[in-house]
Chain A
Amino acid sequence: MHVDIEALNQQIFIDSAFVEKLNEETGKVIVGQHHMIERLLLGLLTRGHVLLEGLPGLAKTLAIKTLSQAINAKFSRIQFTPDLLPADIIGTMIYNPSKNEFSVRKGPVFANFVLADEINRAPAKVQSALLEAMQERQVTIGNETFKLQEPFLVLATQNPIEQEGTYPLPEAQVDRFMLKVKITYPNMEDERQIIRRNLEGDFSPISPVVEPEEILKARESVRKVYMDEKIERYILDIVFASRTPGDYNLRNLGPLINYGGSPRASINLAIASKAYAFLKRRGYVIPEDVRNICHDVMRHRIGLTYEAEAENVTQEDIINKILDTVEVP
């Protein structure tokens, strides 16, 4: 298939113009955390969902709320607790005595941006209800099925500390998240800015700079981003190295990996690479794009063995080792 890369490059450059506007607008409220904002946009552009892991107070809620305001999208936040029920998320049928009939009351999942705060605090039944909605992009209440509004992005957070009384997400469920992003503390300069803005109390109002329709259009553009077969091979090499490290001169990783990336990892690595190239306003994918998003796509898809845990080897170490060994095209 002949692809006119130059024309495509031009087109992508035009289509991705809103990214800068979005960054500017979110930057009015959020200081730093560019990595998180970028990953949220990646999820938005690829129909993926994002699992955030970070300590409280790192502007997770503020980031997604700001982004939803900048996109003019509906935002809802669900605090997951042990006594939460599936109906609290997806909605339920309410009996109306005056009309003598049941009517549907939609749950908070009916929004463009859903923040599932501390998803591991709710039992598996509730987690499954949300994850099913994420996967199917539709919800059934009673006998009626409702399509969820696009764009639909779920941002789930997990607290890495206070694991007592939590219900960790099973590996199969975690695999449904396209990205698992680790949020770190802001640097000193960013934190200085945060203090000043909070002391002054002067937060500029966020105005919508992008309409949800533009996001849907951008998704189409992302699909068109050219990916050479050399890049495809590079992606496959990375994923396969996580499954059979011995084939990639990484025999020492064999005893540390319980299971490697699934085919969903390959798919998401490819899609996310395209979206990353789009965010960089390019019409083609380069190895830098793959390497940039590799950690976020792969870290929750690699299972460690007890031996790895005993030696304090993390998924990050495994991915770094793979990236340092697999030859770049």
Chain B
Amino acid sequence: MKRLGWIICCVLGVCQLTAQVGVTGELTKTDIMIGDQVEFRLNIEKTSNAQIEKIDLSPLDSIEGIEVLNVRPMDTISRSPLLLTQQRITLTSFDSGYYYLPKISVTYIQSGIQSTVTTNEIPLTVNTLPVSTDTVRLEPIKDIIEEPVKFQDALPYLAGLAGLIAIIGLIWYYIKKRKQKPEEETPEVRLPAHEVALQKLHDLQKAELWQKGEIKAFQSELTFILREYLEHRFNMRALESTTDEIVADLKHSEIDADWHPKIETILETADLVKFAKAEPPIEIHARAIEETEVFVETTKKIELPPEEEAKPEEEDNV
């Protein structure tokens, strides 16, 4: 019994001694594609009295085809029952093949004694893309892939179409309006000069202006009617001419010479009334309108039927 107890104590003591510092290395993947990244984790497990002296990562740099991208600082993972620390190293490779990550040695001191532990070698396979072995056959050019039609794509065409319709509409409207215009226009009915004059003289008679004492208004209207008649009937510029000019023009007109002094008297009398506040005897007014009426009646242009129009000597009785 005593012997059994002693053996147990020895085994536990040996285990205690061997479990001073433990180092393991592991890869997150052992099979990667070319260019992929893989993490190498270096785990160190030790007791509190063990002191890590050195971690030698240089073997990683020496592997041809493997590149070290990043080395992170040591990180504590757990503290009990032993202190577990971990260092992460990112690796990659651009050459396909089979690799072995070399042993990483960790040097430590415990109870004044320097010792070294190493990790085991870890295999890593770097695969490349599968390459088609049929390199002779040529593939045809692919068809254009058409995108689905959107409303925005059709918008410029729609706007152009609308503009075109508007222009056609405007042209159609303009042509229609132009065609309609002559139909809408009513021919100006111009009454013969004598009819206008006689109507106005009749209205003037009815207004009884001179009888009411408005002799200036009466004479102004009377001379206007007379001058308008001369202008429209004989093509004289009577409305824009003075009495002297009208009298001078009468000599060159087709009006019978007997009428010249009478017209002159009517116009001059009216000028005196209009511009010099003259107040001639009342019979002058009655005589002036009467003579004007007779003048218009006598010199009026008679409209002949179309068949008789060819006889110019009968056109008027001036």
Contact = CB atoms under 8 A, between A and B. Distances in A.
Contact of A326 (B240, B271, B276, B277): B240
Contacts of B271: 286
A329 B276 contact: no
Contact of B240 (A3, A230, A323): A323
B222 to A, nearest CB: 13
Interface residues of B, number: 14
Contact of B276 (A284, A287, A327, A328): A284
Contacts of A324: 237, 240
Contact of B239 (A5, A9, A285, A328): A328
A5 B275 CA distance: 10
Contacts of A325: 240
Contacts of B243: 286-288
Contact of A327 (B240, B244, B274, B278): B240
Contacts of B244: 288
B242 interface: yes
A226 B276 contact: yes
A228 B239 contact: no
A291 B275 contact: no
A5 B220 contact: no
A287 B237 CA distance: 15
Interface string A287-302: 1100100000000000
Interface string A198-233: 000000000000000000000000000010101100
Nearest to B239: A327
Contacts of A226: 275-277
A323 B245 CA distance: 12
Contacts of B78: none
B241 interface: yes
A329 B240 contact: no
Nearest to B244: A288
A3 to B, nearest CB: 7
Contact of B242 (A3, A228, A284, A286): A286
Nearest to B277: A5
Interface in B216-254: 220, 237, 239-244
Interface centre among A9, A285, A288 (most CB of B within 10 A): A288
A283 interface: yes
A316 to B, nearest CB: 17
A230 B220 CA distance: 10
Given A286-B271, A288-B244, A329-B220, A3 B239 contact: no
A271 B241 CA distance: 21
A226 B278 CA distance: 12
B274 A228 contact: yes
A309 B277 CA distance: 44
B275 A228 contact: yes
Contacts of B277: 3, 5, 226, 228, 284
B240 A5 contact: no
Given A286-B271, A329-B220, A9 B240 contact: no
B277 to A, nearest CB: 5
Contacts of B278: 5
Interface string A1-12: 001010001000
Interface in A1-46: 3, 5, 9
A328 B240 contact: yes
Contact of B274 (A3, A9, A230, A326): A230
Given A230-B274, A231-B275, A287 B242 contact: yes
B209 to A, nearest CB: 16
A328 B242 contact: yes
B231 to A, nearest CB: 11
A2 to B, nearest CB: 9
Nearest to B227: A328
Contacts of A323: 240
Contact of B275 (A230, A326, A327): A230
Contacts of A286: 242-243, 271, 275-276
Interface in A272-316: 283-288, 291
Contacts of A285: 275
Interface string A222-253: 00001010110000000000000000000000
Interface centre among A226, A285, A287, A324 (most CB of B within 10 A): A287
Nearest to A8: B276
A185 to B, nearest CB: 25
Nearest to B238: A328
B147 to A, nearest CB: 61
Interface in A60-118: none
A3 B279 CA distance: 13
5 contacts: A5-B276, A286-B271, A324-B240, A328-B242, A329-B220
Q: Which 7 A-B pairs have the closest CB atoms?
A: A284-B276, A288-B242, A287-B242, A5-B277, A228-B275, A5-B276, A286-B275
Given A323-B240, A328-B240, 16 more contacts: A5-B277, A226-B275, A228-B276, A230-B275, A283-B276, A284-B275, A284-B276, A286-B242, A286-B243, A286-B275, A287-B242, A287-B243, A287-B275, A288-B242, A288-B243, A325-B240
